[in-house]
Amino acid sequence: MKLLIMRHGEAQLVAESDMQRPLTKSGINQVKQTASWLIDNDVIPKQGIDFAFVSPYLRTRQTFSLLNDILTINNVEYSQDILPSSVTSIAHDYLDTKLSFLEQPECILLVSHMPFVSYFVDTICKQRISPLFATASVAVIEYDLQRSQGKLITHYQGI
């Protein structure tokens, strides 16, 4: 199955709290470009994304909403386990547990933050590659649920 690990689009620097930072106009455009790249490169299967895990922060919810307007996303869960400082091993265990209840998922999306997304790729791939994620970039991982391990296929960084 494909596992898409995405960082939110560019967000404003100032807000009442980090959780409330909204996307900028540039961030909105970045997310739309990433969605176009996913479509143009046939990353997403015809039935769409089976399940999305999204951080509850405003900028990740807005990123997901924009993606959901363009792509077919069948289910979503807002998860406290994928915040900027979350523990990747706990998130990995939760992901595997959740996926074990889905019927043959082909494509899963996770929308989160730096540095979590970078460390999560390391955890999932069981390698220390720690890719840097520009805003609205996405890593495409071929994930084997039986082995609980993935392989980084490509990493779209946008323009």
pLDDT by residue for the chain (159 residues), tens only, comes to 999 999 999 999 999 999 999 999 999 999 999 999 999 999 999 999 999 999 999 999 999 999 999 999 999 999 999 999 999 999 999 999 999 999 999 999 999 999 999 999 999 999 998 889 999 999 999 999 999 999 999 999 987
The domain total for the chain is 1
Domain span including residue 10: 2-156
- Which single residue is written with the structure tokens 């996307």? 23
Residues 62 and 22: their CA atoms lie apart, in Å, by 8
Burial, 94: exposed, middle or buried (Cβ in 10 Å; 0-12, 13-18, 19+)? middle
Q: For the domain that residue 147 is a member of, what is the CATH number?
A: 3.40.50.1240
- Give the chain as a 3 state SS string: CEEEEEECCCECCCCCCHHHCCECHHHHHHHHHHHHHHHHCCCCCCCCECEEEECCCHHHHHHHHHHHHHCCECCEEECHHHCCCCCHHHHHHHHHHHHHCCCCCCEEEEEECCCHHHHHHHHHHCCCCCCCCCCCCEEEEEEECCCCEEEEEEEECCC
